[in-house]
């Protein structure tokens, strides 16, 4: 049984849930309205019933960094330590994601090329979708080959918001966006 700590922060796109371990490494981050997805990913990566969630004694560095990111310090999450339990291929994709500069996007094909496997476009997409750490491992920066916004675990409305935020477009997030996403 592993002990992880769960925190919640308010963001312009809804309340976020942040999971860290005893070494204060970020293990998962997602929005509260996607908690079932997070639970599924935690079970897939660590095993059913193998994680105990507790409240931390004090806010984690990850929670402070994510709050700063949403407040406009877009590089605040760059040095957040992470730990995942994905496959070697997934971890390679997630490492490559962290190298995409703020305000930039890449296609799945370009990401496959970055990890040295041009034929792995679909596998890159699957690894991207299995990423348990939103924003810090910026899977929202991956788009379709035709520059279209493709799926995002937090919802396309959040992907649009995050990309606009990183471009400095002062994104608005209206309540009707949340209703439309449900």
Q: Do residues 61 and 17 lie in contact, with contact meaning Cβ atoms separated by under 8 Å?
A: no
Q: Are 36 and 85 in contact (CB under 8 A)?
A: no
Kindly give, in sequence order, each residue whose CB lies less than 8 Å from that of residue 162, ignoring residues fewer than 6 positions away.
13, 135, 140
Task: Map tokens 């371990």 to a residue.
Answer: 21
Nearest to 87 by CA among 122, 130, 48: 130
Which pair of structure tokens corresponds to residue 162?
A: 């995050």
139 is catalytic: yes
What are the helix (H) ranges across the chain?
Answer: 35-46, 61-71, 88-97, 108-114, 121-129, 156-167, 175-181
Catalytic residue among 29, 93, 134, 139: 139
Q: What is the 3-state secondary structure (H, E, C) of 157-173?
A: HHHHHHHHHHHCCCCCC
For the chain, the farthest-separated pair of C-alpha atoms sits apart, in whole angstroms, at 46
What are the catalytic residues?
A: 139
């Amino acid at each position: 049984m592993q002990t992880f700590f769960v925190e919640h922060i308010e963001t312009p796109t809804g309340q976020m849930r942040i999971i860290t371990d005893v070494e204060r490494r970020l293990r998962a981050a997602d929005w509260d309205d996607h908690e079932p997805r997070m639970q599924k990913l935690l079970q897939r990566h660590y095993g059913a019933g193998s994680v105990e969630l507790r409240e931390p004694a004090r806010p984690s560095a990850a929670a402070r960094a994510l709050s700063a990111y949403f407040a406009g310090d877009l590089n605040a999450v760059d040095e957040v330590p992470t730990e995942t339990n994905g496959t070697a291929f997934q971890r390679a994709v997630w490492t490559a994601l962290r190298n995409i500069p703020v305000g930039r996007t890449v296609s799945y094909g370009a990401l496959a090329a970055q990890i040295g496997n041009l034929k792995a476009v679909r596998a890159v997409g699957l690894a991207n979708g299995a990423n348990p750490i939103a924003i810090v491992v910026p899977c929202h920066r991956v788009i379709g080959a035709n520059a279209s916004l493709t799926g995002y675990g937090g919802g396309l409305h959040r992907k649009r918001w995050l990309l606009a935020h990183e471009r400095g477009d002062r994104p608005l997030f209206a309540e009707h966006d949340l209703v439309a996403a449900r």
